[in-house]
């Protein structure tokens, strides 16, 4: 689909939602209510995953979509004031990178950047009580909400958990390959129990490409959510200040 400078569609701002991941970059247009207006595009994450390489892939993908009014980006790391502070599964050049400003300069549109698990959470939560989101992909993503409000800055992945290793050491994609599905699933079960004791969450939402490998019955308060929520939550970024 070719890019256009004008569009016809529902009134209100059209959001270009971008989900940057360790293995893939996804992109979709959303209407003002967060409903899809396009197919979901996906391209492999470049290697090395430097800011310049990533921006080039995103620009190419953007050219295949219709016009939009604003941009929401989910990024796999800590984000503060539009800067990416950590990116353990990308490239070290992302540390302190002004992603929000770079995109606004290149694309001439307002941009908001947030942690990818937080964006997925906005697309999944019920906005009641304490709600935790964990995403099992290349690494481990996490976000915490109270009555629909994001608690920014949570980075559970690199917090020490067991035997001097972190949550991501046991629950990331490399751990799944190392331990195998059965043991990895047992570790996921322990993480659910541990985070319940730590945060006293009312609901837990599990996303990410490796969620499908969980081999045990989840409690009623735990739900596996679609990876598409990582894009659909993009509209909610414009209703909150971080």
Residues 131 and 223 in one domain: yes
CA distance 129 to 31: 27
Residues 223 and 156 in one domain: yes
For 47, residues 6+ apart whose C-beta sits below 8 A from its C-beta are: none
pLDDT tens for 201-220 read 999 999 999 999 999 999 99
Domain that holds residue 59: 15-116
Domain count, the chain: 2
7 in a structural domain: no
Domain boundary pick from 116, 143, 163: 116
Residues 161 and 104 in one domain: no
Closest-CA residue to 137 (of 25, 27, 237):
25
In angstroms, the Cα distances linking 195 to 189, 210, 225 are: 10, 19, 18
217 in a structural domain: yes
Question: What radius of gyration, in Å, describes the C-alpha atoms of the chain?
Answer: 17
The beta strands (E) that lie in the chain are given as 15-20, 24-30, 41-44, 70-75, 79-80, 83-84, 111-115, 130-136, 140-146, 149-150, 160-162, 165-166, 203-207, 222-224
CATH number for the domain harbouring residue 170: 3.30.420.40
Which structure tokens are listed for 60?
């190419």
pLDDT tens for 14-52 read 999 999 999 999 999 999 999 999 999 999 999 999 999
Q: Which long-range contacts (CB under 8 A, 24 or more apart) does 214-222 make?
A: 214/185, 214/188, 215/181, 215/182, 215/185, 216/185, 216/189, 218/192, 219/192, 222/192
pLDDT tier at 223 (50, 70, 90 boundaries)?
very high
Residues 123 and 223 in one domain: yes
CA distance 121 to 63: 28
Predicted confidence (pLDDT) at residue 5 exceeds the cutoff of 80: no
CB 134 within 8 A of CB 206: yes
29 in a structural domain: yes
In the predicted model, what is the mean pLDDT of residues 144-168? Answer: 94
- What's the pTM value of the predicted model, to 2 decimals? 0.88
pLDDT tier at 193 (50, 70, 90 boundaries)?
very high
Residues 92 and 77 in one domain: yes
Q: What does pLDDT average to over the chain?
A: 93
pLDDT tier at 75 (50, 70, 90 boundaries)?
very high
9 in a structural domain: no
């Amino acid at each position: 689909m070719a890019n256009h400078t004008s569009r016809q569609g529902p009134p209100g701002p059209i959001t270009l939602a971008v989900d940057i991941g360790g293995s893939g970059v996804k992109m979709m247009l959303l209407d003002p209510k967060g409903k899809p207006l396009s197919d979901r595009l996906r391209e492999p994450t470049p290697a090395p995953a430097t800011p310049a390489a990533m921006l080039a892939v995103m620009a190419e993908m953007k050219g295949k979509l219709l016009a939009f009014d604003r941009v929401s980006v989910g990024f796999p790391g800590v984000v503060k004031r539009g800067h990416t502070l950590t990116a353990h599964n990308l490239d070290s050049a992302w540390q302190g990178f002004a992603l929000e400003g770079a995109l606004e300069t290149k694309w001439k549109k307002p941009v908001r950047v947030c942690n990818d698990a937080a964006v997925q959470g906005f697309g999944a939560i019920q906005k009641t009580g304490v709600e935790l989101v964990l995403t099992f992909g290349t690494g481990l993503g996490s976000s915490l909400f109270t009555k629909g409000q994001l608690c920014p800055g949570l980075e559970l992945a690199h917090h020490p958990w067991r035997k001097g290793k972190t949550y991501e050491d046991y629950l990331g994609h490399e751990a799944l390959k190392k331990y195998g599905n059965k043991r990895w699933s047992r570790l996921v079960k322990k993480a659910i129990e541990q985070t319940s004791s730590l945060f006293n969450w009312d609901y837990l939402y599990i996303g990410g490409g490796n969620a499908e490998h969980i081999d045990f019955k989840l409690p009623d308060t735990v739900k596996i959510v679609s990876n598409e929520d990582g894009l659909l939550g993009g509209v909610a970024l414009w209703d909150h200040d971080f």
